[in-house]
Structures are given as C-alpha cells and as structure tokens.
Amino acid sequence: MVTAFTESVDIMPTILQVMGQDIPLQCDGASLLPWLKGDTPSKWRDAVYWLFDFRDIELAIPEKALGLAHDECSLLVCRDDSFKYVHCVNLPPLLFDLRNDPEELHNLAEEPDYQAVLLDYAQKMLSWRMKNEFGALDHYKVTSNGKMVLAR
C-alpha cells in the first residue's frame, strides 16, 4: 500500500514504464512502479496540488451564488501532511490545520498567528504553478535545418 502523495498524472508514466516504454519529458507525473515493487523513491513529492474548475456553463449557478464572473470560478489547492491551502479567484483564501482539524471546520486564513503559514503555502503554490505551466516544447530546440529535436 502506498501512503505517499500520488496524483492521477502518475498513472500514465507508470503504465509506460511497466510496458518498457520511455516516459516523455512532457509527463507531469512520476511512475509509481518503485512503490509497487516495495521501494521508496529517493525523490518524491511531499504535497499534492490540484485545480478545480466549478463553472456552470449552462445555468451559472455558482457564478450567481458567489457573485463571480464565469472565468473566476476556479480554485487551486495545496495539501501536505500538515495543512491544506485553498486559493480561489476573487474569494477569501482557506487554510486548514489538518493535524488539529482533520475535518477542516476552522478556516485559519485570517488568524494573525497563521499569516506566515498562509504566505508559505501561497508561495509553494505559486512556485508549483510556475514550474508546471504548460511546457510541451520546453525540452526541444529547432536546428539550423528547421527540424525540432529533443535537447537533453
């Protein structure tokens, strides 16, 4: 059983590695094969991040209920063993202490004693977002004859 943080983006690299195929550089995930073999990878994530888009194209129910524009109906989450930070577009942030409040009932985002934690998680999220911006062509270069090749 794997108790470490995994994400759905880990499925594709795992399947490719099981099939003996190379994992493309553009893959955001990491193979779970070491875990499945009982090994612990030397480098593994200590948190998970996800984006949730809650737009309602047809009825605009969340837009109306929250007073948000259509393109403001999304949130980003950073979760590790200690805290969950939720950043919403044009809504107040949420911060939960998962060790002391596992049911996430008490938002600490506006508590003075948690402002440093809030800033730390906002910075972690920004760094993650910058690192994972769309980069399908990041590892390629165009040669003098106009061909695109992998630059390792």
* pLDDT computed for residue 152 by the predictor: 56
Report field, pTM of the whole predicted structure over 0.75: yes
* pLDDT at position 101 over 90: yes
**152 and 139 in contact (C-beta within 8 Å)?**
yes
The answer to whether domain 46-150 has CATH 3.30.70 is no
Q: What percent of the chain has pLDDT over 90?
A: 59
SS3 category, 37: coil
Question: Pick the residue with more confidence: 144 or 21?
Answer: 21
- Arithmetic mean of pLDDT over the chain: 89
Q: What confidence category does residue 119 fall into, taking pLDDT thresholds of 50, 70 and 90?
A: very high
* pLDDT, tens only, 7-56: 899 999 999 999 999 888 778 888 999 998 989 888 899 999 999 999 98
Cα–Cα dist 7/77, whole Å = 13
SS3 category, 71: helix
The residue-averaged pLDDT of 122-126 equals 94
Sign (positive/negative) of CA torsion 97, 101, 104, 105?
negative
Q: Where are the domains of the chain?
A: 1-45, 46-150
* pLDDT computed for residue 121 by the predictor: 97
